[in-house]
Structure 1
Amino acid sequence: MNLLSVSNVTKSFKNSKVLDSINVNVSDSEIVGILGPSGAGKTTLIKCIMGMEKVDSGDITLLDSKIPNREVLNKVGYMAQSDALYNELTAKDNLYFFGEIFKIPKKELKEKIDFLVDLVDLKPFLSRKVNKFSGGMKRRLSLIIALIQDPELIILDEPTVGIDPELRLNIWKEINNLKSKGKSIIVTTHDMTEAIKCDRLLLLKDGNITASGTPEELMKKFNVDSIEEVFLIAGRKK
Structure 2
Amino acid sequence: MEKIIKVNKVSKKYGSHLAVDNVSFDVNDGEVLGLLGPNGAGKTTLINMLTGLITVSKGEITLFGKPVGNTKNRERIGLVPQNLAIYYDLSARENVAFFGGIYGLRGKILKEKTDVALRTVGLEKHADQKPDSFSGGMQRRLNIAMAIVHEPDLVIMDEPTVGIDPQSRNYILEAIEKMKKDGKSIIYTSHYIEEVERIADRVVIVDHGTVIAQGTEGELTRLITDQKALSITIRQPDDFDVEWLKNVIGVNDVILKEQSLTITTNPENNVLNEVLAVLLKHDITVEQVDQEYYNLETVFLTLTGRALRDE
Q: TM-score, normalised by structure 2?
A: 0.72
Identity, in percent, stands at 38
* Map 1:189-204 → 2, pairs under 5 A: 189-197=190-198, 198-204=200-206
Q: Relative contact order (alpha carbons < 8 A, sep ≥ 6): 1 or 2 greater?
A: 1
1:37 corresponds to = 38
2:189 corresponds to = 188
Which 5+ residue runs of structure 1 have no aligned equivalent? none
Mapped to 1, the partners of 2:161 and 2:116 lie a distance apart of: 19
SS in 2 for 1:48: helix
Runs of 4+ in structure 1 off by over 4 angstroms are none
1:28 Cα deviation after fit? 0.4
RMSD: 1.8
Mapped to 1, the partners of 2:107 and 2:299 lie a distance apart of: 47
The worse-fitting range, judged by mean Cα deviation, of 218-227 and 182-191 is 218-227
Compared CA separation, residues 149 and 129, structure 1 to 2 (3 A): same
Count of residue correspondences: 237
SS in 1 for 2:214: strand
Counterpart code for 2:56: V
Mapped to 2, the partners of 1:86 and 1:94 lie a distance apart of: 6
Mapped to 2, the partners of 1:159 and 1:222 lie a distance apart of: 29
Tell me if structure 2 keeps the 8 A contact 1:35–1:189.
Answer: yes
Tell me if structure 2 keeps the 8 A contact 1:203–1:234.
Answer: no
Mapped to 2, the partners of 1:51 and 1:6 lie a distance apart of: 13
Tell me if structure 1 keeps the 8 A contact 2:141–2:172.
Answer: no
Tell me if structure 2 keeps the 8 A contact 1:5–1:24.
Answer: yes
Deviation by residue 1:159-184 (Cα, 9 ceiling, x = unmatched)? 22244334433432332332233211
1:91 Cα deviation after fit? 1.6
1:57 aligns with 2:126: no
Tell me if structure 2 keeps the 8 A contact 1:139–1:161.
Answer: no
1:106 aligns with 2:107: yes
Q: TM-score, normalised by structure 1?
A: 0.92
Tell me if structure 1 keeps the 8 A contact 2:9–2:58.
Answer: yes
SS in 2 for 1:96: helix
1:46 aligns with 2:47: yes
Match of 1:221 among 196, 207, 223: 223
1:210 aligns with 2:212: yes
Tell me if structure 1 keeps the 8 A contact 2:7–2:24.
Answer: yes
Match of 2:301 among 226, 232, 237: 232
Mapped to 1, the partners of 2:151 and 2:125 lie a distance apart of: 24
1:27 Cα deviation after fit? 0.8
The worse-fitting range, judged by mean Cα deviation, of 106-115 and 24-33 is 106-115
SS in 1 for 2:8: strand
2:5 corresponds to = 4
SS in 2 for 1:72: helix
Deviation by residue 1:125-172 (Cα, 9 ceiling, x = unmatched)? 323333343322210110101111111111011122244334433432
The worse-fitting range, judged by mean Cα deviation, of 69-78 and 165-174 is 165-174
Mapped to 2, the partners of 1:154 and 1:123 lie a distance apart of: 21
Counterpart code for 1:211: A
Tell me if structure 1 keeps the 8 A contact 2:82–2:160.
Answer: yes
